[in-house]
Chains A and B, each alone.
Chain A
Amino acid sequence: MMSTTVTTDQFMQAIMDTLYMVGMSLFVGSLIGIPIGILLVVTRPGGVLESKMLYAIINPVINIVRSLPFIILLVAIIPFTRLIVQTSIGTSAAIVPLIIYIAPYIGRLVENSLLEVNPGILEAAEAMGATPFQVIWYFLLPEAVGSLILSLTTATIGLIGATAMAGTVGGGGVGDLAIVYGYQRFDTVVVIATVVVLIIFVQGIQSFGNILARKIRRY
């Protein structure tokens, strides 16, 4: 019979921490990332608000942030994290780097989703005399909603992976539990339980995203 040193309460707490970190960073990350994705699409050459300068600034900045592995980003921006949440350890301290990590990722995914929209529809919008804002709001976004949901699903799953490293700054969560108890204390049960929980999370989120996208697309 296998035994474990982790209590059910500890395990539940870890799940709650993971959900909290994913939820918060997804929410704030989307608030930043979606506008970034839109900006990338509308300012690119040939876009409805073409701006060489803006595009030339946003595009490389995103690439720079995206080229950092999360574990490095996490420690590299500790001073910034401290500035924002007054601490560099704990769940809240993990959320700041998670947001910095996920926002550009969401930006890129949103950009890809919006670029998939049939250019003919944008031409029709322009022929109707729509303002750039109207083009985005009435044409670009509604046509991309299904794809945007799938993009956010991908981002969420990416976030779950990243939260596993949040333990480095004492962020908690199931990933942390697996490393501290499972790996460092040879508690196989915790490792297995964590893996199971993560699989259920990812499967659940992906299925939910797929169903939602299909329902919204209707075509």
Chain B
Amino acid sequence: MIELKDVYKTYTRKGISNDALKGINVKVEKGDIFGVIGYSGAGKSTLIRLVNYLEKPTKGQVFVDGHDLGKYSDKELRAAKKNIGMIFQHFNLLESKKVFDNVAIPLILLKKNKDEIRKRVLELLEFVGLGDKAGSYPSELSGGQKQRVGIARALASNPSILLCDEATSALDPQTTRSILQLLKKINAEYNITVMIITHEMSVIQEICNKVAVMEEGRIIEQGSVLEVFGHPQHPTTQNFVKTVIQNSITNSMQKSIKREPGSGIYKLEFVGQCASEPILYKMIRSYDVQVNILFANMTEIEETTLGKVIIQLKGDTAEVNKALSFLKNSGVGVEEVEKHDVNYSYN
């Protein structure tokens, strides 16, 4: 469990102060895969470094497993850090040491005996899929393999928390996917709480269950990934969501829409079970309305299907209203698009 309470961080250099974090409140529950997303300079790097106290807050408190890190002595803090693994964008492996020795380092720091270290390191390398690379140097590995070594190293001391600092930002999409699957496996098999910072919404979509969106040192939106993806409130969040979910009617389609009297445009939202039922079909069969689908998209988030459809309904007002209440009663989110809204995009 990680909790940041009203945290501020100000850097002062040559008399000029720069507020990196302005009142952050975050709670990460045990077993969460918590994503923090934001553009460069939003303060997410600073945020993740507060969790293992690589950065100390100017104001506010950081709790890990219920303990206030600010109350720890240097020695206690070092012990606490061994419970928090961290992986980095640029891996930060020792280039002069073999893969085996890189993974062994946290155990050497813990003064474990040689046999124990050997057993644990080989087991970890096997787990991350690098059983045959113990004797290689990092320079002989690909980016994805280096990150696997980083992960094995971070897990060596059996931490309960894993911090990922842009861990996939230097990797290609396919490698990113395999690393994310590995993180998911770690979360599931060892029940390790994972905190990820990223600027890629696809990372959040792929493995996170909770997300916080940051901008200019503040968290502008947070909640379950399904909530935030389904109903992004803030423009920045909407922009991030757009990067993974196409959510607006194509231009040519927009031009061809005829807004006639007795017709209306509606945004429909299907979540979970209702996305797999033939609701629109039933509606058309039961009511005398014409349906014109302008846009449709299905996305899977947290293993739940999220469907977004924009339709134009034509027909007698009474029939249209009946059809709309049928949709609402079937659990579909319905929202009429304002006449003057020419954008017809989802947010």
Binding site for B on A (CB under 8 A): 118, 120-121, 123-124, 126-131, 134, 138-139, 142-143, 145-146, 216-219
By the criterion CB–CB under 8 Å, are B78 and A131 in contact? yes
Tell yes or no: B297 within 8 A of A by CB: no
By the criterion CB–CB under 8 Å, are B96 and A134 in contact? no
Contact-size category for B: 20 to 34
Q: How far is the CB of A49 from chain B (nearest CB, A)?
A: 11
Q: How far is the CB of A167 from chain B (nearest CB, A)?
A: 41
30 contacts between A and B (CB under 8 A): A120-B90, A120-B92, A123-B54, A124-B86, A124-B92, A127-B86, A127-B163, A128-B81, A128-B109, A128-B157, A129-B77, A129-B78, A129-B79, A129-B80, A129-B81, A129-B109, A130-B109, A134-B109, A138-B108, A142-B96, A142-B97, A143-B94, A143-B96, A216-B96, A217-B96, A218-B96, A218-B139, A219-B137, A219-B138, A219-B139
Tell yes or no: B122 within 8 A of A by CB: no
By the criterion CB–CB under 8 Å, are B137 and A127 in contact? no
Tell yes or no: B144 within 8 A of A by CB: no
Q: Nearest CB to that of A142 among chain B residues?
A: B96
Query: How many angstroms between the C-alpha atoms of A143 and B157 in the bound complex?
Result: 22
Q: How far is the CB of B205 from chain A (nearest CB, A)?
A: 27
Query: How many angstroms between the C-alpha atoms of A139 and B95 in the bound complex?
Result: 10
Q: Given that A129-B80, A129-B81 are contacting pairs, would A145 and B92 also be in contact in the complex, using a CB cutoff of 8 Å?
A: no
By the criterion CB–CB under 8 Å, are A123 and B88 in contact? yes
By the criterion CB–CB under 8 Å, are A139 and B94 in contact? yes
- A residues within 8 A CB of B86? 124, 127
Tell yes or no: B82 within 8 A of A by CB: yes
Query: How many angstroms between the C-alpha atoms of A29 and B172 in the bound complex?
Result: 49
By the criterion CB–CB under 8 Å, are A124 and B109 in contact? no
Query: How many angstroms between the C-alpha atoms of A145 and B82 in the bound complex?
Result: 27
Q: How far is the CB of A47 from chain B (nearest CB, A)?
A: 15
Query: How many angstroms between the C-alpha atoms of A138 and B86 in the bound complex?
Result: 18
Query: How many angstroms between the C-alpha atoms of A138 and B88 in the bound complex?
Result: 19
Query: How many angstroms between the C-alpha atoms of A121 and B88 in the bound complex?
Result: 10
- A residues within 8 A CB of B95? 118, 143, 217, 219
By the criterion CB–CB under 8 Å, are A120 and B109 in contact? no
Binary per-residue interface labels of chain B (75-110) against chain A in the complex, 1 for a CB within 8 Å, 0 otherwise: 001111110101010101111110000000110110
Q: How far is the CB of B124 from chain A (nearest CB, A)?
A: 14
